[in-house]
Structure 1
Amino acid sequence: MRDHTPDFKMQELSAENKSLIKETVQQLLVRLAGDSQLSSDSLLEFWVEVPGVKRPRGTYRGGFLMPDSFVYITDYVQADGDRLVPAPGYREMDKAWDDLLDELYYQVEIFTSQADDSRGIMLELWTGHRNRPEGEWIYAVDRKIELV
């Protein structure tokens, strides 16, 4: 059996990049809840574009792009009307945010560790819900940010 684990060293995101990601994610999720679109199948997905790294994205039979990674939002936060509250299992909203962001940072670090420098790395964050399996978006908000 072959080991298909990539051979690279994890590079932690800078405090500035973590802050940029956190602010962006919070804006997207507040918008999702404000539009009454946060449901149990809502996802926070991202794509990463690293300059000089050719890594084609996968596709399903329908021909649409497969996301690099995702997080189920309602594992951490839920909507109460148009505002966000901690999911069951969390007493405090701060802890829910910390856990959601820690998971997202870790996943982003896996994809960005292939680059020597974070400059030029584009991170596109999407939130909403799709037709199943991971098809076209029924509802989505997104933002593309450049890591610094």
Structure 2
Amino acid sequence: MRDHTPDFKLQDLSSDNKARIKETVQQLLTRLAGDGQLTADSLLEFWIEVPGMKRRRGTYRGGFLMPDSFVYITDYFQTDGNQLVAAGGYEDAVKAWDDLLDELYYQVEIFTSQVDHSKGITLELWTGHRNRPEGEWIYAVDRKIELI
């Protein structure tokens, strides 16, 4: 059996990039909860764009673009009214935020590991929920940030 795992070394995100991602994610999730749109299938999705690098995005059979990766928000948070609160497995929201962001940072590091970070990588984050199986957004908020 052959191992098809790519041979690469993760490049840690800088503290500035982690702060930019954290601020953006907190704004998006606060908006999602405030709009009363956090559901069991709500996702935090992202795409990585690198200038000059062509990369086909995968599609589901229905034909919509797949994100580079995603996180199920309700693994970490639920709502109380229109406020985010830690999901059942967490003692407090601080630990939930730490775990969600650690997972997101790790996934972003995987997708940016083979890229020269001086190229101006753009991270597009969005959250909401899709109509399944067609994949059209029922509700979504998004934001692009450039990693520095």
Normalised by the length of structure 1, the TM-score is 0.95
Count, aligned residues: 148
Q: Which letter maps to 1:42?
A: S
Partner secondary structure for residue 117 of structure 2? coil
Paired position in structure 2 for 1:122: 122
Partner secondary structure for residue 84 of structure 1? strand
Paired position in structure 2 for 1:77: 77
Q: Which letter maps to 1:135?
A: G
Normalised by the length of structure 2, the TM-score is 0.95
Q: Following TM superposition, where does structure 1 have runs of at least 4 consecutive aligned residues deviating by more than 6 angstroms?
A: none
**Contact 1:45 1:126 (8 Å CA) reproduced:** yes
Q: Gapped runs of 5+ residues in structure 2?
A: none
Q: Gapped runs of 5+ residues in structure 1?
A: none
1:59-108: CA deviation from partner (whole Å, max 9, x where unpaired) = 12222101110000011011111111000011111000000000000000
Paired position in structure 1 for 2:133: 133
Whether 1:87 aligns to 2:87 is: yes
Note the C-alpha offset of 1:134.
Answer: 6.5
Counterpart CA distance in 2 for 1:7 and 1:55 is: 18
CA RMSD, aligned part only?
1.3
Partner secondary structure for residue 74 of structure 1? helix
Counterpart CA distance in 2 for 1:79 and 1:4 is: 40
Sort the Cα spacing of 1:54 and 1:5 in 2 relative to 1 into closer, same or farther, 3 A: farther
Paired position in structure 1 for 2:108: 108
Note the C-alpha offset of 1:54.
Answer: 2.7
Q: Which letter maps to 2:83?
A: R
**Contact 1:59 1:66 (8 Å CA) reproduced:** yes
